[in-house]
Structure 1
């Protein structure tokens, strides 16, 4: 699971518990301006990809850096999902990763956090 916290203009994604070991990553810091949006997508972690670094146990866990042909930009995706029902996809620009597919405690709150503000 990933905990999300805003620190000024930066969003900190902290990988919790044993997931740090499985994902080979404990934290991601991303400028808020580089986050395009978020959506709830329980099926996103089922997509097939090539694991670069991390862990994949089919049907149980995906954590780490993966490459997916469907993105078309040759950038990796960061995943940390064990319970698919709590999965959100966060689209990024100008970052090491093209998107984050992560499990969070409250998917609706995360989607709302990254939704564009209506003027």
Structure 2
């Protein structure tokens, strides 16, 4: 699971991996400029879609998808154990990842935070 926050002063969306997710994803934190965030959606069904090729991280089907994956030319960062809490954050071209698929404690609140932050920029 990850904590998503917004640093308005620095104009960043921050995803901080929690607990063992740091180990599974091989990342402890991602910082994305708000100007590169296109939007966010709550998407529990995404866990059933193909993941592509794991570049770095952990993948145990129906248990955990964590780390960097490549699928159909896209670079996707995953940190999901419970698909019901998966949020997809779409990013602009030129970012390290095309999208982030991250499990959060409260998907609705996270989507609202991201959407409000990019409107206000």
TM-score (norm 1): 0.90
> Aligned pairs, how many?
114
Does structure 1 residue 42 correspond to structure 2 residue 41?
A: no
Structure 2 gap ranges (5+): none
Which runs of 4 or more aligned residues in structure 1 lie more than 6 Å from their structure 2 counterparts after TM superposition? Answer: none
User: Displacement of 1:113 after TM fit?
Assistant: 1.5
Note if 1:104 corresponds to 2:79: no
The corresponding residue for 1:60 is 63
SS at match of 2:68: strand
* Deviation larger for 109-118 or 11-20: 109-118
Once residues 21 and 45 of structure 1 are traced to their aligned partners in structure 2, the CA distance between those partners, rounded to angstroms, is 20
Unaligned runs of 5+ in 1: none
Higher helix share: 2
Q: Deviations over 1:52-111 (max 9, x none)?
A: 000000011000000112xxxx24100000011000100001310000000001100111
TM-score, with length taken from structure 2: 0.88
Match of 1:88 in 2: 87
Could you say what the CA RMSD is over the residues aligned between the two structures, in angstroms?
Answer: 1.4
**Distance in structure 2 (CA, Å) of the matches to 1:95 and 1:11:** 13
